[in-house]
């Protein structure tokens, strides 16, 4: 075949594959256009996962009638003033979004700049452009996308369920609404308002989108090094979620999903929170544009930093410094024992959390001993039990015990307890149903409407897990019961986690198929966290419970909960034996 140039429609379809990966990407591009147009209020409507319909309406500068045709032409943009691509001050600059959407879907633009008597409308469907017609509309622009990917069926096949596309769209709007807190935002999903927020300061915006309860605990963060600034809000180590859904990074007001920043956040919290938990964070990074390349990927959500190490260390240092302040933890760090070179920090659990716990009876502890190693008199003779008698608690995390043959046993208290609770829930379920305990008074919980909708849709299945929730007007649910096995676990934290898990696009599908994963998450809420100081009675009780439950020697994630050091092991380590 001879070499020939591709037809513009084909070129646009190929670009659409990169720019508009899924409905959420179209939503993001349209909202970015509205922000670039200086909108003060942006309303987004999403129907049928954004596949059926997306509508973004703004009150920004509008597109003059004479430029409407250009707006949907590839590589036509009003934004790029620096052709060297160094100082990019707008969210868009590639002139690709509208033509790409128009190639893959039915796109209608209605726009009326200030001073123009009427609005003008242009439509493009599968690349075919309509006439421009006058219509009545207020100042600003409306972009409507229908039947996304109808013209590119190859892409349509790769879409996930409507529910997960919906939540990806909602996440994209939430991220943009955080990036531009000074702009009013409304999101409606399938006809129901998800949020409707006025122009506000960042803290108020974070509170509106993360939920008031958690937002109150957030720690304000501010760090500057040379010309890089990081500011925003992070959660203390005691407030975590089951997914990273409440982590948002903005770089020069652009919402990004940058792996470097996410990893830095993980590193900063690594020693402070249990594995599998995620802090909340809304962070704004300001960096001179010449130290940044945003033109790495057509979706513009990945970046390249000229000095990645400086950014990484500034973020990690800032988070760790702020977590170590009185606002970040309930009290000063309790210990620092320089084991294998890596500093190991442990924070006292807040009084409210310590009050609930494995055994309700808290006994006085020997505070004159180094907190890392407390040694009371053994309660029973060594050897009476398979997992022995607790000798000490190390790092407020591991129980050290000695068994009959003299070997040392180390138990990961958090993993072991989580496993015990999970096995108990599982056994109850298999025996006919998880026992639930009604709460003395039902607990109301504010949450976003889409979270409420997902919870309500799963209410019957959750009831089988011992979790009873019901609707409680707009934007709230009422928690009536939680599994009895969870004791005094915080019902709000539990239901919030369940809502996050239901929204997690990686966990899509009917709840029935995910019951096991959900059960493990629920079990987590009864678990004594790493970092919780245990009384000796509690340690002994945990060991006895583990002996009665043989499967408890690995945690639900397959990691061991028990390690053993025999005499032989010690001799090898000391070089006494070969």
Q: Decide: is 92 part of the binding site for Mg ion (CB under 5 A).
A: yes
Residue 33 or 346: the one with the smaller Cβ distance to Mg ion is 33
* Helices and strands (H, E) in the chain, number of each type: 18, 28
| Spatial separation of the C-alpha atoms in residues 415 and 429, rounded to whole Å | 21
| Spatial separation of the C-alpha atoms in residues 234 and 319, rounded to whole Å | 8
| CA angle at 319 for the pair 318 and 324, rounded to the nearest 5° | 100
Which of ligand ADP, Mg ion, none does 298 bind, CB closer than 5 to 8 A by kind? Answer: none
Residues contacting Mg ion: total by CB under 5 A: 3
Residue 29 or 451: the one with the smaller Cβ distance to ligand ADP is 29
| Spatial separation of the C-alpha atoms in residues 271 and 237, rounded to whole Å | 10
- Which of the ranges 33-41, 260-268, 321-329, 541-549 carries the binding residues for Mg ion, by CB under 5 A? 33-41
- Which of the ranges 97-105, 216-224, 322-330, 367-375 carries the binding residues for Mg ion, by CB under 5 A? 97-105
- Which of the ranges 90-98, 216-224, 231-239, 337-345 carries the binding residues for Mg ion, by CB under 5 A? 90-98
- Tell which one of 16, 31, 97, 273 touches Mg ion (CB under 5 A): 97
SS3 assignment, position 437: strand
CB of 62 to ligand ADP, least distance (A): 6
Residues 6+ apart with CB under 8 A from 419: 523, 549, 551, 552, 554, 555, 556, 561
Residues 6+ apart with CB under 8 A from 67: 78
Which of Mg ion, ligand ADP, none does 63 bind, CB closer than 5 to 8 A by kind? Answer: ligand ADP
Q: Comparing C-alpha atoms, which of 134, 131, 115, 112 is closest to residue 123?
A: 131
Q: Decide: is 60 part of the binding site for Mg ion (CB under 5 A).
A: no
| Spatial separation of the C-alpha atoms in residues 94 and 294, rounded to whole Å | 11
Residue 91 or 119: the one with the smaller Cβ distance to Mg ion is 91
What is the contact surface with ligand ADP in residues (CB under 6 A)? Answer: 29, 33-34, 37, 58, 60-63, 71, 77-79, 92-98, 141
| Spatial separation of the C-alpha atoms in residues 249 and 285, rounded to whole Å | 8
Q: Comparing C-alpha atoms, which of 181, 536, 197 is closest to residue 376?
A: 536
Residue 107 or 502: the one with the smaller Cβ distance to ligand ADP is 107
**Which residue number places its CB atom closest to ligand ADP?**
92
Which of ligand ADP, Mg ion, none does 396 bind, CB closer than 5 to 8 A by kind? Answer: none
| Spatial separation of the C-alpha atoms in residues 385 and 218, rounded to whole Å | 44
**Which residue number places its CB atom closest to Mg ion?**
92
Residue 92 or 279: the one with the smaller Cβ distance to ligand ADP is 92
Which of ligand ADP, Mg ion, none does 291 bind, CB closer than 5 to 8 A by kind? Answer: none
- Tell which one of 13, 26, 33, 55 touches Mg ion (CB under 5 A): 33
Q: Decide: is 255 part of the binding site for Mg ion (CB under 5 A).
A: no
| Spatial separation of the C-alpha atoms in residues 417 and 422, rounded to whole Å | 8
Residue 49 or 60: the one with the smaller Cβ distance to ligand ADP is 60
Residue 139 or 150: the one with the smaller Cβ distance to ligand ADP is 139
Q: In what order do the strands lie in the sheet with 389-394?
A: 373-374, 389-394, 398-402, 408-412, 562-565
H or E stretch including 216? helix 212-217
Q: Which residues bind Mg ion (CB under 5 A)?
A: 33, 92, 97
């Amino acid at each position: 075949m001879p070499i020939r140039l591709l037809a513009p429609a084909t070129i646009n379809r190929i670009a659409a594959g990169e720019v508009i990966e899924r409905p959420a990407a179209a939503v993001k591009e349209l909202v970015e256009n509205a922000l670039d147009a200086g909108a003060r209020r942006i309303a987004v409507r999403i129907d049928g996962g954004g596949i059926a319909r997306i509508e973004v309406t703004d009150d920004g500068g509008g597109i003059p009638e004479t430029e409407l045709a250009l707006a949907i032409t590839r590589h036509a943009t009003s934004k790029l003033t620096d052709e060297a691509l160094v100082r990019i001050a707008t969210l868009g600059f590639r002139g690709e979004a509208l033509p790409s959407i128009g190639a893959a879907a039915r796109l209608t633009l209605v726009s009326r700049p200030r001073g123009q008597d009427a609005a003008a409308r242009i439509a493009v469907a599968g690349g075919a452009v309509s006439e421009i017609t006058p219509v009545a509309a207020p100042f600003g622009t409306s972009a409507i996308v229908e039947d996304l990917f109808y013209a590119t069926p190859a892409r349509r096949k790769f879409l996930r369920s409507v529910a997960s596309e919906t939540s990806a769209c909602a996440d994209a709007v939430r991220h943009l609404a955080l990036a531009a807190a000074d702009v009013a935002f409304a999101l409606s999903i399938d006809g129901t308002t998800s949020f409707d927020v006025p122009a506000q300061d960042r803290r108020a915006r974070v509170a509106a989108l993360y939920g008031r309860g958690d937002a109150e605990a957030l720690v304000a963060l501010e760090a500057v090094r040379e010309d890089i600034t990081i500011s925003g809000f992070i959660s203390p180590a005691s407030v975590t979620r089951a997914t990273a859904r409440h982590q948002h990074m903005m770089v020069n007001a652009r919402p990004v999903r940058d792996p470097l920043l996410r990893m830095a956040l993980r590193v900063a919290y690594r020693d402070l929170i249990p594995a599998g938990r995620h802090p909340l964070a809304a962070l704004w990074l300001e960096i001179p544009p010449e130290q940044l390349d945003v033109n790495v990927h057509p979706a513009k959500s990945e970046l390249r930093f000229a000095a990645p190490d400086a950014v990484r260390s500034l973020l990690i240092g800032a988070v760790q410094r702020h977590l170590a302040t009185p606002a970040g933890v309930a009290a000063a760090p309790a210990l620092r024992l320089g084991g294998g070179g890596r500093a190991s920090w442990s924070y006292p659990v807040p009084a409210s959390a310590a009050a609930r716990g494995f055994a309700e009876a808290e006994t006085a502890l020997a505070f004159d001993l180094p907190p890392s190693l407390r040694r009371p008199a053994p309660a029973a003779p060594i050897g009476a039990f398979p997992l022995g008698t607790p000798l000490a608690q190390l790092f407020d995390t591991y129980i050290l015990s000695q068994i009959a043959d003299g070997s040392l046993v180390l138990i990961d208290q958090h993993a072991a307890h989580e496993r015990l609770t999970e096995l108990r829930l599982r056994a109850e379920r298999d025996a006919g149903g998880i026992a639930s305990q009604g709460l003395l008074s039902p607990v109301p919980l504010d949450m976003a409407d889409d979270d409420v909708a997902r919870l309500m849709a799963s209410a019957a299945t959750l009831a089988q897990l011992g979790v009873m929730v019901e609707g409680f007007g707009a934007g709230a649910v009422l928690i009536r019961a939680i599994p009895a096995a969870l004791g005094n676990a915080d019902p709000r934290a539990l239901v919030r986690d369940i809502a996050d898990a239901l929204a997690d696009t990686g966990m899509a599908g009917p709840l029935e198929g995910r019951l096991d994963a959900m059960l493990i998450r629920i079990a987590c809420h009864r678990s004594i966290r790493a970092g919780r100081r245990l009384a000796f009675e509690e340690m002994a009780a945990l060991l006895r419970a583990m002996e009665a439950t043989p499967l408890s020697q690995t945690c639900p994630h397959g990691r061991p909960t028990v390690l053993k050091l025999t005499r032989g092991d010690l001799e090898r380590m000391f070089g006494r034996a070969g």
